[in-house]
Amino acid sequence: MNITIDLQTACEDIAPNKDEFQHWVAASLVDDVVEDCELSVRLVGIHEITGLNFSYRGKEESTNILSFPFQTTVPMKVKLLGDLVICNKVIATEARQQHKQINNHWAHMIVHGCLHLLGYDHVEIEEAEQMEALEIKVLQSLNIGNPYLN
């Protein structure tokens, strides 16, 4: 499987490098995607993530990550997974508040977002339990502990 990441940086905040994103995405997709795939990762500030969160989810607040799965009925050579939009400041704040290592929290958010791109959700309790179990499994493969044990 070949994964192409279009990394877009729309803010000046500190973030992991493209190789780290590549590693986390690859771990997230190992059981679900066997073909070449592509996704966009856009790093944004508070203003942009808040606007997107309101436009797409009706919530007037910032958030850590938004996932926009790509859907088409047209056959394509490369599987386009979609877009992840991530707010660096929110990730850093959450990591600090939750006493987590920053890169571990970044990895968790990338895994979480990728699972959304693959169709997983956490609206219903059973869905949430399944998605969290997958997140924990992927993070363990990256030598990162269970993020829900805080």
Copy the structure tokens of residue 31: 């059981």
Q: Is the dihedral of CA 19, 21, 23, 25 positive or negative?
A: negative
For a pLDDT cut of 70, what percent of the chain falls above it? Answer: 98
Task: For the chain, list the domains and their CATH numbers.
Answer: 3-141 (3.40.390.30)
pLDDT at res. 150: 63
Burial of 89 (0-12, 13-18, 19+ CB in 10 A): middle
The residues of the chain scoring below 70 in pLDDT are 34, 150
pLDDT at res. 147: 94
